Every structure is written in C-alpha cells, then in structure tokens.
C-alpha cells in the first residue's frame, strides 16, 4: 500500500482519461511516405467529422495540410481500405472517400480529378513519374470484380485494365527502369495470409500494357507472399512465410520457381502483417544490398538494418511500421510508445530525434499510465498463449485494503490479427479507474509465426475462447484480480469471442459486444467478397458443413448466457450486418436475459465518430459499474437493462 495515495473502490477512481480525451483528442496517423526531402502521412481527425487529411512536413517549411476540408483521403476496397495515396517527384495521387474518385495534386497544390466512377473503388496506389498503378474494385453489379489498372497523369478519365483474371490484387510495384511490373494476387477460397502468388510481367511503356505474365512464387507450395518491392538496381524482393515466419527474400527473375527465392533474413519473428489493409510496409531498401526491416516478436516491434547479409538491431523505440529511410542514414517513422501518445519522428544521421507531430496534446502524468507487460500462460490443452497485462494505475488512488481489482479481458478482432503493447487511451481509460486489463493474443493471432496463426483453423470459437478463459485463470492464480469481477469485451471477430465465451463459461460477470458476429451461417451468406470464404478455414467448408456453422454460432446457444450483456451496432455495417445483433436481442428478450442494446445510424464497421466513441465508453462504464457494484466518476450516461 502507498501511504501517499487515497484508498478507493476499483472502478470509481477519478481519471485523467475522460471520454472526451479518449474519443476526440487523439488523431490517428497512418501511411507515412517519403518523397525527396518531404515527409507525408495521413491524419484521421475525430474533431473534423472524422475526415482523413494528407499532411506534409519538411525541415524548412514545417507542417501543412495538402488536402482541403472538401476531401477525406481513403477508400473502401475490401471494405477496409488502406494504400490510399502515393507521392513521386512532388506529384501526389490519392483516393477520396467522399467522391470515390482519384485525385492528383501537383506543385501548385490544386487538386484535380483524374478519374471518377461511383461504382468503382481504388487502393494500393503506386505513382512512378506519370504512371499510376492501383487496384480497382468494381461494384457496378452484385458480382464484385477486382483488377489491376493503370492511369496516366497526362490523360485524365482513361483507365487501362492490366489484369483481371485473379479474384484479388495488391501492391503493384514498378521496377526502377520501368521495364517490369510485380504484384501480389490470390484466389478464393484463400485469404492473403494463407496463400498468394507473386507475379511479374514486362511493362510496355509505349502501349501501356503488360506482357509475358509469369508466376514467380506461390505455385509450387502454399505460402503467403506479401510486400514485393524493387531496389535501385532492379532486383526484386518479397516477404514469404514459407518457413513459418514472414521473412524477406530475394527473387531470382531468371530461374524456375522451385529455387528462385533466397532468404535475406531467417528470423523467428514476423517481417509482415496480415493483409487486412493495403499500404502496409515492413521493409525498405536503403541501397542495393542494404535494407531496413521491422520484425514483430511476441507482440513487440524490433527494427534491424541489413547490410551485405549482416543483420544489426537498432534502437528506434516502437515504430508502428518499418521506419522509412530518407537519405544518409536518416529515418522517419510513426512511433507507438508504451507510455506516450503516437508520434511522427524524424531522426537525422547523427541520431538526433525530432518529434514532428503528436497524436494528442493532452498531457497525462506518467504515473497515471499503466505499462503492459507480456504474459505467457498455460492453456487447458498443455500449450501456451500470450497477452499483455495492464495493472490498475492511478497516481492518486489505490485499491481499498484487501481489495483485488476487477479484470477486463479484451479479445482483439480479426481473428487473424494481433494486439500490441503500445499506448492505447482506450485501455488507459479502464486501468486509470482501477481495472486490470488483459489484452489477449489468443492462438490464431499474428506475430507468433504461421503455426501459431494456423492453430485457429477449424477451431474459431473454441481455442480463442478457451485462451481468454485460461488467461483469467492464470491471473486469478497469481492473485492479480478479483475472480468474481471479470468482464470481457470485444468488437467484430472479438465480439464473436465475447459471445462464445459468455455461452461457454460462467467465469465472466458481464460482457460488452461491439458489432460482433453471432450467426456464422448468416455471416457466410451475407458478408462481402473479401471475407466471403474466410470462414472456410476458421470453421469448415460452407455449405457442406452447415451444421457445424449452426453449432458453433453463439446465437444457437445464446439462451445459456448467465450474465448481463451490452451490445453496440452500426446500422451501416457491411461486414457484420445489423441483423446479427438484432437476432441476438430477440433471443435475449425471449429468455429474459438482462441486456442493453444501442445502435448508431451513421456508423459502419468500426466506430469512428467522436460522439459514438464517447457514448460507447460512457455506457460501458455505467454498465460495468451497475453489474460490479461501483459508482463511476463523472459519467452522464445511464444504462437500463432489459429482460
């Protein structure tokens, strides 16, 4: 006990992390790029109707917005977007979420429409001189089609289709001599972290066409190939998980596929992330034989420089993605510290660092910030799983004598995804009020190799659930948490884990489900193209194994839930439709199970509006306070439970 802290019931501590601070005071950075001496990135700004702005910085002129308030940079290809802009020689091309069009910005900084068709979506841009390569997704009919396309800055309103035979495309990249185009493609029923192909073709700069297409990798063995890229001397590299971990490989363009990949790295760590969004970069060439890579090891990012096959670790705190080399050993990156808001950092060749931009100007005392630490816990089947444990932390308060804190279990989405140990105001919101939090990287998570990632195949709703329960038992055994005050929270696929956990275990006192999956059969029949075969791997073949879908669906067993449940749903959700939540509510009502249900008319999959995020946090806090028996500090929302 700390004699300088006040005692108070956990959950009720006054916190510097207000709902306003969490929901509206944090901009979100993404897609950092370099062009000559300029650094670019995207900022999603909750206080500007959640629009995303393209921002530029250079050492002489400082920061300025490139796109005006009439634009929001982004796209909905695969529904999740990413890869929304590209820069080259001071020219910029970007996709606008408002109009769906492709826009260009040149040195006069006036935006000009390059192409627009409301039925088409564009992502994964690669601008080289006047050539704009990207992925097109055609929604003009119910049969959504994807293709690889080309535009020219000199010829607006003309789209040239390069290839349209595959189900999906990503990352078109042109060699430095502009003679060859490489890209990734894949086909149903696989997801891009399961099986993809590395393709290459000759690019005819005069005819604006590709010729002599060939598959360089992925044909001889099932592997996930991601992030192709060229060096200045026209050598091709790619990341592959053929040896259990995504590592960097050199591609020999002149041999057959059986032996044309040579490992540059052989780490037991992931140089790569699952392709949920476009535009992810986990390696860059520094020069012809030198590279910088970011590897994820047990949830932690580590940065390495590779020079002539020698690997050296460098200390750059916690970049979200690979630091981008500028020149002469200078780097820029988006930094995700464990104890500070996200930052854009520039480091010169003398290792002097400058914070260019910070995601939040709200000052939080370091003693109010809970630092997560890795736990590796035993599972019921004698394996192990991982998570990050955040103890309750508040510089003014501590638990009452003999009180153990309540535990919030967080199940991340995906489920092919991961949680990382970085500063997250949505976690600090709870820890600063007296909750302990465990953020679980259950089996099936990425960042731990292909074997760990594939452990969830055919076992979604089983291993993820049991790993969350085993994390609770591990912390109970260590006397870290109150076994009678455990709640679980998750969104999307994490919401499915929440519902399944509440059905299968009575260890939880309450649950919060945000746009979660309840009916696997409906999801298999209603979801969008990108994920239309995802469940084949996670559950089983559909419709051949339809009974298994029914049995594994939380909706089938929702009447067995023995604790209160709160649900939140966006009415514009195209990934997990509102009907999922509505069907759950019907069963809860029919079985008189205490519940609350809130919908948001303008939200889709993933709540982004400031007012929505704020309301959800307040409702959750009021809900958990009602169930666990504490009085929240400064909460305006009240929850009425229906039975």
**What is the model's pLDDT at position 358?**
94
What percentage of the chain reaches a pLDDT higher than 90? 85
Residue 252 lies in a domain: yes
Q: Please tell me whether residues 391 and 313 are part of one structural domain.
A: no
pLDDT digits 0-9 by tens, 575-619? 888 999 999 999 999 999 999 999 999 898 888 888 999 999 999
Residue 318 lies in a domain: yes
Q: What is the mean pLDDT of residues 261-271?
A: 95
Residue whose token pair is 């991961």 = 418
**What is the model's pLDDT at position 574?**
83
**What is the model's pLDDT at position 258?**
59
Q: Total domain count for the chain?
A: 2
Residue 549 lies in a domain: yes
Q: Please tell me whether residues 387 and 279 are part of one structural domain.
A: no
Q: Which strands sit side by side in the sheet containing 28-35, from one edge to the other? A: 28-35, 38-45, 51-58, 62-65
Q: Residue 1: is its pLDDT beyond 60?
A: no
Q: Please tell me whether residues 566 and 624 are part of one structural domain.
A: yes
Instruction: Using pLDDT thresholds of 50, 70 and 90, give the confidence band for residue 255.
Output: confident
Q: Please tell me whether residues 265 and 378 are part of one structural domain.
A: no
Domain boundary among 325, 355, 379: 325
Q: Please tell me whether residues 281 and 380 are part of one structural domain.
A: no
C-alpha separations of 509 from 349, 480, 553 in Å:
54, 17, 21
Q: Please tell me whether residues 320 and 368 are part of one structural domain.
A: no
Q: pTM of the entire structure?
A: 0.94
Q: Please tell me whether residues 543 and 421 are part of one structural domain.
A: yes
Rounded distance between C-alpha atoms, residue 607 and residue 382, angstroms: 37
- Collapse the DSSP code of 46 into the 3-class scheme (helix H, G, I; strand E, B; otherwise coil) and give the result: helix
Residue 33 lies in a domain: no
Instruction: Using pLDDT thresholds of 50, 70 and 90, give the confidence band for residue 274.
Output: very high
Residue 412 lies in a domain: yes
Rounded distance between C-alpha atoms, residue 418 and residue 99, angstroms: 32
Q: Residue 643: is its pLDDT beyond 60?
A: yes
Specify whether the CB–CB gap between 274 and 449 falls below 8 A. no
What percentage of the chain reaches a pLDDT higher than 70? 99
Q: Please tell me whether residues 299 and 409 are part of one structural domain.
A: no
Specify whether the CB–CB gap between 347 and 331 falls below 8 A. yes
**What is the model's pLDDT at position 543?**
95
- Collapse the DSSP code of 558 into the 3-class scheme (helix H, G, I; strand E, B; otherwise coil) and give the result: helix
Q: Please tell me whether residues 520 and 592 are part of one structural domain.
A: yes
**What is the model's pLDDT at position 254?**
83
pLDDT digits 0-9 by tens, 83-121? 999 999 999 999 999 999 999 998 767 899 999 999 999
Q: Please tell me whether residues 271 and 420 are part of one structural domain.
A: no
Residue 63 lies in a domain: no
Query: Residue 188: which domain range?
Result: 178-325
Q: What is the mean pLDDT of residues 49-71?
A: 94
Domain boundary among 298, 325, 352: 325
Q: Please tell me whether residues 269 and 381 are part of one structural domain.
A: no
Q: Residue 489: is its pLDDT beyond 60?
A: yes
pLDDT digits 0-9 by tens, 302-340? 999 998 878 999 888 788 899 999 988 899 999 998 999
Kindly report the average pLDDT of the chain as a whole number.
94
Q: What is the mean pLDDT of residues 363-378?
A: 95
**What is the model's pLDDT at position 79?**
93
Q: What is the mean pLDDT of residues 635-640?
A: 86
Q: What is the mean pLDDT of residues 542-552?
A: 97
**What is the model's pLDDT at position 3?**
62
Total H helices, total E strands in the chain? 11, 38
Residue (of 286, 290, 313, 291) closest to 302 by Cα position:
313
Q: Residue 23: is its pLDDT beyond 90?
A: no
Answer whether the bond into residue 148 is a cis peptide, omega within 30°.
Answer: no
- Please report, for the domain that includes residue 408, its CATH number: 3.40.50.1820
Residue (of 277, 167, 298, 291) closest to 226 by Cα position:
277
Residue 167 lies in a domain: no
Domain boundary among 297, 325, 353: 325
Q: Which residues contact 185 (CB under 8 A, 6 or more apart)?
A: 148, 163, 166, 167, 168, 169, 170, 196, 197, 199
pLDDT digits 0-9 by tens, 498-546? 999 999 999 999 999 999 999 999 999 988 999 999 999 999 999 999 9
Rounded distance between C-alpha atoms, residue 105 and residue 89, angstroms: 11
Rounded distance between C-alpha atoms, residue 50 and residue 269, angstroms: 34
pLDDT digits 0-9 by tens, 407-445? 999 999 999 999 999 999 999 999 999 999 999 999 999
C-alpha separations of 176 from 38, 86, 173, 249, 496 in Å:
20, 16, 9, 18, 45
- Please report, for the domain that includes residue 208, its CATH number: 2.120.10.30
**What is the model's pLDDT at position 36?**
86
Q: Please tell me whether residues 203 and 312 are part of one structural domain.
A: yes
Residue 101 lies in a domain: no
Specify whether the CB–CB gap between 41 and 632 falls below 8 A. no
Q: Which two tokens stand for residue 185?
A: 């493609």
Q: Residue 259: is its pLDDT beyond 80?
A: no
């Amino acid at each position: 006990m700390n004699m300088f802290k006040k005692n108070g019931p956990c959950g009720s501590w006054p916190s510097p992390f207000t709902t306003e601070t969490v929901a509206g005071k944090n901009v979100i950075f993404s897609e950092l790029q370099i062009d000559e001496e300029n650094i670019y990135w995207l900022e999603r700004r909750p206080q500007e109707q959640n629009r995303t702005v393209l921002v530029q910085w250079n050492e002489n002129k400082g920061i300025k917005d490139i796109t005006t308030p009439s634009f929001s940079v982004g796209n909905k290809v695969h529904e999740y977007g990413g890869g929304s802009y590209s820069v080259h020689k001071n020219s910029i091309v970007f996709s606008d979420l408002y109009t769906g069009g492709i826009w260009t910005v040149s040195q006069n900084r006036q935006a000009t429409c390059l192409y627009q068709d409301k039925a088409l979506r564009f992502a994964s841009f690669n601008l080289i001189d006047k050539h704009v390569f990207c992925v097109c997704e055609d929604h003009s009919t119910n049969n959504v089609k994807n293709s690889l396309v080309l535009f020219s800055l000199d010829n607006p309103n003309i789209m040239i289709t390069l290839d349209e035979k595959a189900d999906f495309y990503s990352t078109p990249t042109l060699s430095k001599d502009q003679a060859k185009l490489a890209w990734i493609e894949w086909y149903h029923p696989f997801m891009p972290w399961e099986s993809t192909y590395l393709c290459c073709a000759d690019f005819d700069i005069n005819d604006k066409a590709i010729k002599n297409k060939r598959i360089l990798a992925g044909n001889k063995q099932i592997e996930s190939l991601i992030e192709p890229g060229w060096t200045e001397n026209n050598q091709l590299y790619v990341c592959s998980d053929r040896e259990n971990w995504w590592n960097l490989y050199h591609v020999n363009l002149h041999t057959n596929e059986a032996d044309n990949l040579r490992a540059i790295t052989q780490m037991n760590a992931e140089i790569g992330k699952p392709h949920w969004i476009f535009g992810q970069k986990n390696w860059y060439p520094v020069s012809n034989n030198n590279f910088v890579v970011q590897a994820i090891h047990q949830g932690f990012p580590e940065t390495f420089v590779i020079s002539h096959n020698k690997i050296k670790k460098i200390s750059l705190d916690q970049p979200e993605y690979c630091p981008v080399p500028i020149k002469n050993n200078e780097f820029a990156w988006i930094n995700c510290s464990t104890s500070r808001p996200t930052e854009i950092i520039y480091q010169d060749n003398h290792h002097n660092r400058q914070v260019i931009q910070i995601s939040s100007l709200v000052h939080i005392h370091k003693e109010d910030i809970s630092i997560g630490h890795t736990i590796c816990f035993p599972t019921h089947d004698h394996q192990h799983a991982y998570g990050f444990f955040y103890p309750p932390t508040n510089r003014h308060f501590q638990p009452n004598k003999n009180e153990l804190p309540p535990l919030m279990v967080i199940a991340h989405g995906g489920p092919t995804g991961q949680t990382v140990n970085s500063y997250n105001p949505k976690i600090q919101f709870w820890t600063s009020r007296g909750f302990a939090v465990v953020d679980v990287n259950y089996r099936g998570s990425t960042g731990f190799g292909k074997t760990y990632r594939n452990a969830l195949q055919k076992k979604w709703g089983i291993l993820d659930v049991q790993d969350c329960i085993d994390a609770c038992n591990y912390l109970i055994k260590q006397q870290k948490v109150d076994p009678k005050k455990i709640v679980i929270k998750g969104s999307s696929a994490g919401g499915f884990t929440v519902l399944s956990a509440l059905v299968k275990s009575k260890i939880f006192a309450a649950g919060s489900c945000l746009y979660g999956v309840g009916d696997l059969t409906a999801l298999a029949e209603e979801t969008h193209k990108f994920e239309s075969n995802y469940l084949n791997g996670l559950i089983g073949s559909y419709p051949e194994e339809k009974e298994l879908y029914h049995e594994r669906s939380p909706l089938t067993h929702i009447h067995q839930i023995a604790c209160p449940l709160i649900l939140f749903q966006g009415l514009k959700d195209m990934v997990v439709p509102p009907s999922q939540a509505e069907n759950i509510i019907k069963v809860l009502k029919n079985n008189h199970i205490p519940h609350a249900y809130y919908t948001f008319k303008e939200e889709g999959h993933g709540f982004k509006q400031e007012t929505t995020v704020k309301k959800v946090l307040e409702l959750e806090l009021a809900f958990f306070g009602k169930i666990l028996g504490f009085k929240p500090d400064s909460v305006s929302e009240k929850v009425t439970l229906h039975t």
